[in-house]
């Protein structure tokens, strides 16, 4: 089944404790992206990747890191999480560089205490 998977789905952590949210797609898509969703703010793009080893900042990249070493994986790293990073995070992928249909993962709900 074609899908985008994210792990973990739920995470509670404390300020400053490094964490990684994994994202994987099995559709051989070139484009992958991370978003955060907050009430009243909609979705805001954190980082995106056009292909392996090619990443670029979205609108809200501060406090986040990403890497794209393999085509299928696009992990989101929070080196020192803070409470203002408490949010619902979505990973998405599309076949063609951003203008194709994006397929979204199920989301990761993060709470930083």
Compare residues 90 and 112 and give the one whose CB is closer to another protein. 90
C-alpha to C-alpha distance for 20 and 47, rounded to whole angstroms? 14
Binding of another protein by 43 (CB under 8 A): yes
Binding of another protein by 63 (CB under 8 A): no
Which residues have CB under 8 Å from 96's CB, separation 6+? 30, 31
Binding of another protein by 105 (CB under 8 A): yes
Binding of another protein by 14 (CB under 8 A): no
Both tokens of 80, joined, read: 């020192």
Helices (H), 7-76: none
Residues 71-100 that bind another protein (CB under 8 A): 90, 92, 97-99
CB atoms within 10 A of CB 92: 22
Number of residues that bind another protein (CB under 8 A): 26
Interface residues toward another protein, by CB under 8 A:
4, 31, 33, 35, 40-45, 48, 50, 56, 58-59, 90, 92, 97-99, 101-102, 104-107
């Amino acid at each position: 089944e074609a899908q985008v998977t994210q792990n973990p789905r739920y995470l509670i952590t404390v300020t400053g404790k490094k964490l990684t949210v994994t994202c994987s797609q099995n559709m051989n898509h070139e484009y992958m992206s991370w978003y955060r969703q907050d009430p009243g703010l909609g979705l805001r793009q954190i980082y995106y990747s056009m292909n392996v080893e090619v990443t670029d900042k979205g609108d809200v990249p501060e406090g986040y890191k990403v890497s794209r070493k393999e085509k299928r994986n696009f992990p989101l790293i929070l080196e020192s999480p803070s409470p203002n990073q408490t949010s619902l995070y979505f990973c998405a992928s599309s076949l063609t560089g951003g203008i194709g249909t994006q397929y979204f993962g199920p989301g990761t709900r993060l709470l930083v205490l």
